[in-house]
Each structure stands twice: as structure tokens, then as C-alpha cells.
Amino acid sequence: MKMISGYQNKNILVLGLAKSGTATAMLLHKLGAKVIVNDLKPLEENPQAKMLQEHGIEVVCGGHPLSIFDEKIEVVFKNPGIPYSNPILIRATELNIPILTEVELAYEVSEAPFIGITGSNGKTTTTTLIFEMLQQDNKNPLIAGNIGTVAVEVAQQAKQENIIVTELSSFQLMGISKFQPKISVLLNLFEAHLDFHGTMLEYAQAKGKISENQTADDYVVYNYDDMYCKEMIKSSNATLIPFSTKDICENGAYLLNDSLYFQDEEIIPIKDIVLPGKHNIENILAAIAVCKLYSVKNEAIRKVLATFTGVKHRLQYVSTVQERRFYNDSKATNILATQKALSAFEEPVILLAGGLDRGNEFDELIPYLKNVKTLITFGQTAEKLEKAGMEAGIPNIERVANVEKAVQTAMGKSTKGDVILLSPACASWDQYKTFEERGDIFINAVHMLK
């Protein structure tokens, strides 16, 4: 780890705890900063705040008092999920105080280069594929972000010979200043998180920040088939590496005659890939492009793709019960993710969907419901999904209380050869703390059927 001096004796506010805030506060304390932590949860219910207090770090819990700025705060590190409408952040903006996220600090202290992956869908799968391929070829990767240890913890352990592979959300990227990945990856972009960002333009600008500090010595791997990605890379100074399932990209990765290629070299026939879903071909092409830039051997890439069956909660095969196959796609928190999941199957599907109502309708889902024989809904969006199901002509539509009941109902409505798919098209927060909790309940309910 680089023991940087830029934060020494500075008043640094860490806003919001959870994993990233706690790790950020501890690292800043180690770097000699005068750290103040502010978290909404009261101190008596906040073990992380108590732990920081025991290390001599000042904590202010139970609210967001503007009096915290009496300390003459010089930098704010925010938890990525806290909106900029938070009164502390509004005041910091008024005072022209930099507002950063932990990935910025991770970059500053890391001895290892970063590969940063972002997009509306496919981040976790692509990040995991890249990590597995690099590891298979002994390139010493480390994995960080939403699917592993937070980046500031990984960066402290990283050496020059490592490569940090990290999944990056738009929330994290809004808070970067110097962050410069050796390779950035833009998978796709469509309307998502507009309740946070406000407009599609702001969302695209946040995603595009992943490449803003890159130079010609760096690379941006981008989806040539996605109009937003093509627009976003126009301002990048990095060397452009496209991937496409529709066109031959001589300088990148592409699909041709049922095989995947990189720069005119055949890497693997599609028939040898076990990961289901046409949408995953895009993720695989992105991973191949990144790994070939790091000179990973084709044999290592093929070995991973011949065995990799997916990431938990991302179109994850769970089990077969009485000749019905169950898939957990709880990470499908938006319409595009569910569209892609439905496109992965030709068999009759029983779809389990529903969750947090963000104000959108589900008309865009209708063309993808042609193989759905039964729709089982739950959560705040049940009625809206049922409306889309009726317009799609789904013969059987039922509403249940929760995911557990949905599994039981789906089993009763199914016949041999059916796919029973949890792909909610919505966030989980109306009924469950996380999409992981929702997916785990689904998995447990499937196993209970046995």
C-alpha cells in the first residue's frame, strides 16, 4: 500500500457507514486524517460506529446535523448509496468541498492497476469472468466491489504484481476525481436508477466518468452495439477496444459463425460455453477482450468458459425438481435484465416477478413474455405486471404474498419440462433488504420442495 500524505491532519468527513464507510474511515485514520463519521443510525444500534469510536475516531450518529461543518471539513467521503439530496451533501456542495467515494481512495493507495467494469447490466458476471480468466492464467488478480471485499480493503493488500478487478456502479463513479483504471469496461446503458440520477443524461455522465482520466496508454473496452456506449467513448482519450455480437470488430472481440473471436483469432465456439443466455455472449466478449489485452492464453479462457455456470442471483441454475428447472435471477432489478433472462430460454416459462414500485410501467417487457405460460406476481408492482401479462396474452396470472409463496404456486402450476424463473424486473426493497436476501429465500423454497 502507498502511504500517501495528502490526507494527513485534514478534517475528513465520512458520511454513511456499512462496509465501505467503515473501511474508508479506518484507512483515513491510518493515513493520519482527523476523521469524523456521520451515520443516521443511532449509536446504541450501531456496532460499526462504536468500533470506530474505540479506535479514537469521532462519530456523530442519529441524524445529519449541519453543525458538523463547524469542524471546517476539507473532504467528504460518502457511502455510494446516499443521494446528493442529503442535507450534508447539499451543504458540502455549497461550500465547494470535494465529495468522493471509497474507490477514489482505493486508487490513491493501491500499488496495483485497476480494471473497472460498469454498465446497467452484466457487471457482476463480467467482473467474475475476468477475474476467473486472469486467475486461470496466473495473472494474480484480486476482486473488489459489490461482489467481494470493498475496494479500499483490497487496495491495502495489493502489490504491484496484482490486478484489481472491480465492479463499479454509477453511484461510485460520481465520486471519483483521479481514478484511472488501466482498462475500463462499458457494457451497456439504459434507463435505470433515474430515481437517484434524475435524468438519463446524468446517469450516462456518471457511467462515463470511468474513462475520463484515462490516457492513450490505457484501454476502454466498450459495447459497439450500444448507442449510449458508442456516444460515451467519443470523449475518451483511451485506446478503443470494441466488442459486438452484430459486427466484425477487427480491433476487438466479436461473434462470427457461432464462434467468438478477438482480433481475427478464434477463441472459442459458442457450443463449448456453458453459461446460458444470449445476453451473456456480450459479457463474455467483453471479458475476452480485457483478458487478451493482458495476454491471457486462449486455453485459460476456454477452460473458464467450459465450466463457468454463472454467478449467484444472476440467472443462477438452482435445481431440477420433478423435471422442472429452477433459475434464480434475483439480481434482475430492472426490465432489461428480465428481458435478457427470458430470452435465454426456449422452453415454457413460469415467471415470478414483482417488487419495489419506482413509477415505471412494464410495457417494454410484453414482447418478451411470449414463452411465459404462467405469471406469478408479488410486491408493490404486482398489479402493473399483471396488466402487462394480460396484454401479452399470458393464460394464467396469479398474485401471491411473497417469493416463498410464489415458488409453491409455481410448482403447482407447472408441468414436466417447464422453467421456473425468478426474474423480478424490480428492486427488492419493498419486501426484502437486498436482492440477495430475496434470492436466498427463493433458493431455500426450491430446496424445500424436495
Q: Which domain holds residue 383?
A: 316-448
Flag whether 6 is in a domain: no
Please check whether residues 203 and 254 belong to one and the same domain. yes
Write the CATH number for 353. 3.90.190.20
For 418, residues 6+ apart whose C-beta sits below 8 A from its C-beta are 324, 325, 347, 348, 349, 350, 373
Write the CATH number for 68. 3.40.50.720
Q: Which of 348, 370, 356, 345 is nearest to 431 (CA)?
A: 356
pLDDT the model gives residue 207:
87
Confirm whether residue 310 is marked as ligand binding: no
Grid look-up 485514520 returns 29
Flag whether 417 is in a domain: yes
Which parts of 122-209 are beta strand (E)? 141-144, 163-167, 183-186
Confirm whether residue 373 is marked as ligand binding: no
Confirm whether residue 355 is marked as ligand binding: no
Confirm whether residue 312 is marked as ligand binding: no
Please check whether residues 300 and 392 belong to one and the same domain. no
Confirm whether residue 126 is marked as ligand binding: no
3-state class of 299 per DSSP? helix
Flag whether 3 is in a domain: no
Cβ atoms < 10 Å from Cβ of 363: 13
Confirm whether residue 333 is marked as ligand binding: no
In this predicted model, what pLDDT tens digit does every residue of 335-389 receive, in sequence order?
989 998 999 898 999 999 999 999 999 999 999 999 999 999 999 999 999 999 9
Confirm whether residue 433 is marked as ligand binding: no
Q: Render each residue's pLDDT in the chain as its tens digit; 450 residues.
A: 999 999 999 999 999 998 899 999 999 999 999 999 999 999 999 999 999 999 999 999 999 999 999 989 999 999 988 988 999 999 999 999 999 999 999 999 999 999 999 998 889 899 999 999 999 999 999 999 877 789 999 999 999 999 999 999 888 998 999 999 999 999 998 765 555 545 777 878 888 899 999 999 999 999 999 998 998 999 999 999 999 999 999 999 999 999 999 999 999 999 999 887 788 999 999 999 999 999 999 999 999 999 998 888 988 889 999 999 999 999 999 998 999 899 989 899 999 999 999 999 999 999 999 999 999 999 999 999 999 999 999 999 999 999 999 999 999 999 999 999 999 999 999 999 999 999 999 999 999 998
Please check whether residues 158 and 257 belong to one and the same domain. yes
Please check whether residues 290 and 376 belong to one and the same domain. no
pTM over 0.85: no
**DSSP string across 379-393:** STTHHHHHHHHHHTT
